[in-house]
Amino acid sequence: MSPTSESYLLPSNDKPREACGIVGVYMPNEDVAKTVFFSLFALQHRGQESAGIAVSDGKEISNYAKMGLVSQVFREESLKGLSGFVGIGHTRYSTMGGSKASNAQPLLVNGPRGLLAVGHNGNVINANSLREEISKEWQIEFERSSDTEIIAELYVNTPGIEWFDVSATVMRRLSGAYSLVMMNLNELIAVRDPLGIRPLCLGKLREGWVVASETAALDTIGATIVRELKNGETLVINKNGIKSQIWSGSRPTHAMCVFEHIYFARPDSILNGKLAYETRLKMGAELWKEAPVSADFVTGIPDSSTPHAVGFARESGIPYVETLIKNRYVGRTFIEPDQHVRDDSVKMKFNVLKSVIKGKKLIVVDDSIVRSTTITRVVKLLRNAGAKEIHVRVAAPAIKSTCHFGVDMATLDQLIASNMTIEEITNFIGADSLSYLSISGLMTAVENNNDSYCRGCFTGEYPIPVQLEMDKFSLESK
């Protein structure tokens, strides 16, 4: 897919990009395709490049995956062609392998363990070496350029009496982040990596079961939330019920990506037992305690930073007001913009309430800053609309390092906080002042226990050793 105006019309592309959303459904007496579809619809925010659903009726697996949003890929007629009692679904944003149809998931592979469909959220950091190893070990010719295919081939080829044996062996070989939904003709298998980096939860729906990246997907289809999967846990769901086993080599405390709390997850999802919305309110409150400033109003950049801004306003006693109205119908477009549209792209997404802010001192709360493209344009927009002062407060620490576990966080030379001082960034974005939430403040907000959560993008220290930077296209030429 060639570059489109989407990258210009959506200032949110300056944010970290999640890898994927995954869902698995086992309903012994029902067709599951529509249940999978509506679950995916609730996970659209986690990936907008491609979407897919695979189902099995016990005799064959039908798989339908294409480029585009969930609503673009699936129609009533395409769902009617997906008949079966077990199914998995996937929404993708590429972090390993290019954004192209061949990498759309679920992926379907065949091997000694039969036909297997796989959906993956995360990033395997030893994908290159593993691909070389297993291509020789099992004479496999890889057809795609994503790490998901490597995971799929491992699960379908690794010897073992039960899925738990296979999963234990695979976990010893994989390094990185991987929440998985897999299915064969008759079973649903779900796996969360030994570090627990990417979220995965279990729900009960009538006579069946659902697993998904976020609890919001369970709410959407009326499933009852049972629990979040443990680090290194493998679930197997079939006609005999549900069985679980945790790999003995799993980390005792999770290292879940803290950006799930900050930005990735929907605010109505529960993460590590906490509602994301309430955690974001606490981030805003901690930010005020650390970086108070006099102003007339507190405002946020809709929609992702709204809870943080509300928390900031509540703690400060300064009124929260909306200053930017978001055009929620700006979405994917394949119309190439001219230079004028590119330069004014923020106006395509936001319009300013000029009479509200003219002559006022504003505190603008953002959830994070990566390259600074969005906040720079927003500050300029507010300044041109007559704001007297603009004080930027960021409800996350400064991002100084790249992510290696399933998030497209830009390269080191693109991360503004790794290349400029606070004062330099303040001048660059055109603000009157700038402050970030401290790491200790963030940990207070998420109620950190036992040194959990991966925060490598802030500290450069990761739960497992990583190389300095990774190339998402490293498998393209192999």
Catalytic center residues? 20
Determine the Cα–Cα distance for residues 42 and 39; give it in Å rounded to an integer.
Answer: 5
**Residue 291: helix, strand or coil by DSSP?**
coil
Determine the Cα–Cα distance for residues 94 and 408; give it in Å rounded to an integer.
Answer: 8
Determine the Cα–Cα distance for residues 431 and 428; give it in Å rounded to an integer.
Answer: 8
Please give the torsion angle defined by the CA atoms of residues 12, 14, 15 and 21, in that order, rounded to the nearest 10 degrees. 70
Determine the Cα–Cα distance for residues 107 and 53; give it in Å rounded to an integer.
Answer: 10
For residue 251, the number of C-alpha atoms closer than 13 Å in the C-beta half-sphere is: 21
Describe the crossing of helices 147-157 and 163-173 by its angle, rounded to 10 degrees: 140
CA angle 77, 78, 79 (to 5 degrees): 90
3-state helix, strand, coil in the chain (%, to 5): 30, 25, 40
Determine the Cα–Cα distance for residues 180 and 184; give it in Å rounded to an integer.
Answer: 13
Span between the terminal Cα atoms of the chain, in Å: 20
Give 435's strand partners: 393
Residues 6+ apart with CB under 8 A from 463: 195, 197, 251, 255, 454, 456
Residue type, 262: I
Q: Residues 114, 119, 125, 127: is their CA dihedral positive or negative?
A: positive
Q: What is the 3-state secondary structure (H, E, C) of 87-136?
A: EEEEEECCCCCCCCHHHCCCEEEEECCEEEEEEEEEEECCHHHHHHHHHH
Determine the Cα–Cα distance for residues 253 and 258; give it in Å rounded to an integer.
Answer: 14
For residue 361, the number of C-alpha atoms closer than 13 Å in the C-beta half-sphere is: 8
- Single out the residue of 196, 168, 130, 121 nearest to residue 464, CA to CA: 196
Determine the Cα–Cα distance for residues 67 and 19; give it in Å rounded to an integer.
Answer: 15
Determine the Cα–Cα distance for residues 381 and 383; give it in Å rounded to an integer.
Answer: 5
Determine the Cα–Cα distance for residues 257 and 283; give it in Å rounded to an integer.
Answer: 16
